Amino acid sequence: MPNTKDFDFDVLIVGGGPVGMLLASELRISRAEPVVLERLAERTPHSKAFGLHARSLESLDRRGLVERFRDGARSWNNGHFAGLDVWVDFSLLDSAHNYALLSEQTRTERLLEERAQELGVPVRRGHEVSAVRQDADGAEVDVTGPEGSYTLRGRYVVGTDGGRSLVRRSAGIGFPGTGGRVTARLADVVLADREKAPMGMERTERGLLFCVPLDEKYHRVATFDFQKGKEAGTELTLEEFTDSLREIWGDDLGAGEPRWLSWFTDSACQAERYREGRIFLAGDAAHTHFPVGGQGVNLGLQDVLNLGWKLAAEINGWAPQGLLDTYDTERQAPARNVLANTRAQIALMNPDPYVTQLRELFQELMTKDQVNRHIAEMLSGVGVRYDLQGPGHRLLGDFARDLTLETADATLTLPKLLHRATFALLDLGGRPEISEVYQEWGAGQAWAGRVRHVVAECAQEPELAGVLVRPDGYVAWAADKDASPAEIAKGLRSALAAWAGTTGDPARPVLR
Ligand SMILES: Cc1cc2nc3c(=O)[nH]c(=O)nc-3n(C[C@H](O)[C@H](O)[C@H](O)COP(=O)(O)OP(=O)(O)OC[C@H]3O[C@@H](n4cnc5c(N)ncnc54)[C@H](O)[C@@H]3O)c2cc1C
């Protein structure tokens, strides 16, 4: 292994969008040293995404961040699926955050960047990466910044550099998928005839119109055109946008004074693997899709909540064998599912009259709570569950709910226990074997603070004897009270070894 001095940073994060910024914080709280390289000197003032879904909010709560996101932001219980008239009801979710939060992307990015900086992560704005390469011991990037060009060396590179990812191309990772058939033309505009503007999504015989007020002055308006494409590399003009409005809606609503014009298609692609040696991909660099259902940012944030602690474990010298590879295996499926549901929504949005009957049938189904909840779980990410190895238990691989824990001298909550991205080992049945296995495991650990062990009672889970929750909030092991002492000891011992490791390096020197 090369000397620590050979590295400028542990992790070189290429791209400081929402996903790169959250990764930076995740690495830092797990005692790794990242740097963020972002080519834009300033954050873009235009928000692509509007909001955050339940699983993102639950995760932010597990880092003590949800209140700063909720502060002053509106939330709503409903969402749309394919613009159907029956709304998706997020209040049906089994979640402490069973709603969607209105947090425009610029705001989300600002809050995540502030957090990274509070933790002391260097964020280098105006620094563009032009080349990425790796060898057996590390990875390097060539950067051009305001003061010239330079090269940085790190143990790992993570590409959070968006859909056209240079990192992905440099790593030779393919990006297969489906090409664009629908063209969305989007404008943040003033509508002279705002009283005539519809609200939300409207399907017409010629396409779809999306229209929502952004503030007192501006509306976000988008047309979804299933026929007339657009040549790659061309800009959208106001004239083309108002033509499209007239064609699809029959009226241009007096649209003018655009502050942002943009266009995109429904092309949906996914990286064939999220890791190539010392190079990783996350966020749009790993998957892109049509933004129906508002899922892209949320999906990317979940990628790095999965990756951050695993990468830090490797850097800190305690990662069990194969831990880093579980990033790819765990995160491929959620993206595949999001791509699939956006394609399904596009099919349902098709203006072809034949689709109308299908929409009506779907709408009828959506009035059933079970169906509506299924769709809400899909869009919000609450349905994500990892296929983890271990003795089968109903909670294994699921996201642990907000448990309230009564200890001998305090009331704790599970989200709070995870604020520092440690594991939480909860002994909920006063089972001595849980403490014994923990002591036995902890005694051999260089940094036993990796796992927080709490003996408590939990009224929400009367059946549960114990549970091991990973730093990202997912259950790595659980046993019920009717399990034998031998089953508990064996299951917990192997879960701790598989996820929390059996070695450690407390003396790992910090880089600077
Ligand atoms: C119109 C629209 C509406 C959307 N609405 C929603 C929504 O409501 N909810 C939702 O969850 N998602 C939504 N999305 C998707 C969402 O915007 C993306 O999924 C999200 O931006 C992905 O974040 P990211 O950090 O992975 O990538 P990006 O936001 O693309 O960030 C990548 C960053 O990398 C930087 N970069 C790129 N190359 C380099 C380089 N070589 N060197 C240095 N820096 C580099 C870029 O400047 C950029 O800042 C929407 C998308 C669109 C287009």
pLDDT in tens, the chain (512 residues): 444 558 999 999 999 999 999 999 999 999 999 999 999 999 999 999 989 999 999 999 999 999 999 999 999 999 999 999 999 999 999 999 999 999 999 999 999 999 999 999 999 999 999 999 999 999 999 999 999 999 999 999 999 999 999 999 999 999 999 989 999 999 999 999 989 999 889 999 999 999 999 989 999 999 999 998 889 899 999 999 999 999 999 999 999 999 999 999 999 999 999 999 999 999 999 999 999 999 999 999 999 999 999 999 999 989 999 999 999 999 999 999 999 999 999 999 999 999 999 999 999 999 999 999 999 999 999 999 999 987 789 999 999 999 999 999 999 999 999 999 999 999 998 999 999 999 988 877 766 679 999 999 999 999 999 999 999 999 999 999 999 999 999 999 999 999 998 766 555 555 44
- Two tokens at 243? 């033509």
Please tell me if the CB atom of residue 221 comes closer than 6 angstroms to any atom of ligand 1.
Answer: no
Q: How far is the CA of 150 from the centre of ligand 1 (A)?
A: 25
- Two tokens at 475? 């259950």
CA distance 155 to 2: 10
| Nearest CA among 103, 107, 101, 102 for reference residue 45 | 107
pLDDT of residue 284: 98
Please tell me if the CB atom of residue 12 comes closer than 6 angstroms to any atom of ligand 1.
Answer: no
Q: How far is the CA of 86 from the centre of ligand 1 (A)?
A: 29
CA distance 438 to 500: 11
Please tell me if the CB atom of residue 142 comes closer than 6 angstroms to any atom of ligand 1.
Answer: no
Query: Residue 391 is which amino acid?
Result: P
**Substitution site in 113, 269, 284 for ligand 1 pocket (most atoms within 8 Å of beta carbon):** 284
Classify residue 380 by burial, with Cβ atoms within 10 Å: 0-12, 13-18, 19+. Answer: buried
pLDDT of residue 512: 42
Q: How far is the CA of 8 from the centre of ligand 1 (A)?
A: 27
Secondary structure (DSSP) of 448-465: GGGEEEEE-B-TT-TTEE
| Nearest CA among 57, 161, 51 for reference residue 107 | 51
- Residue 19 CA: nearest ligand 1 atom is 25
- Residue 283 CA: nearest ligand 1 atom is 26
Protein residue whose Cα sits closest to atom 1 of ligand 1: 48
CA distance 474 to 400: 6
Protein residue whose Cα sits closest to atom 2 of ligand 1: 48
Please tell me if the CB atom of residue 20 comes closer than 6 angstroms to any atom of ligand 1.
Answer: yes
Q: How far is the CA of 184 from the centre of ligand 1 (A)?
A: 17
Sorted by where each starts, the structural domains of the chain and their CATH numbers stand as 4-50+105-178+269-349 (3.50.50.60), 183-265 (3.30.70.2450), 404-500 (3.40.30.120)
Please tell me if the CB atom of residue 24 comes closer than 6 angstroms to any atom of ligand 1.
Answer: no
**Substitution site in 108, 161, 270, 345 for ligand 1 pocket (most atoms within 8 Å of beta carbon):** 161
Secondary structure (DSSP) of 37-87: EES-SS--S--S--EE-HHHHHHHHTTT-HHHHHTT--EESEE-STT-SSP
CA distance 482 to 498: 24
Protein residue whose Cα sits closest to atom 3 of ligand 1: 48
Protein residue whose Cα sits closest to atom 13 of ligand 1: 49
Question: In a 3-state reduction of DSSP, which class is residue 326?
Answer: helix
- Residue 44 CA: nearest ligand 1 atom is 49
**Cβ neighbours of residue 478 under 8 Å, at least 6 residues apart?**
393, 394, 395, 396, 464, 466, 467, 468
Chain center to CA of 434? 33
Q: How far is the CA of 257 from the centre of ligand 1 (A)?
A: 25
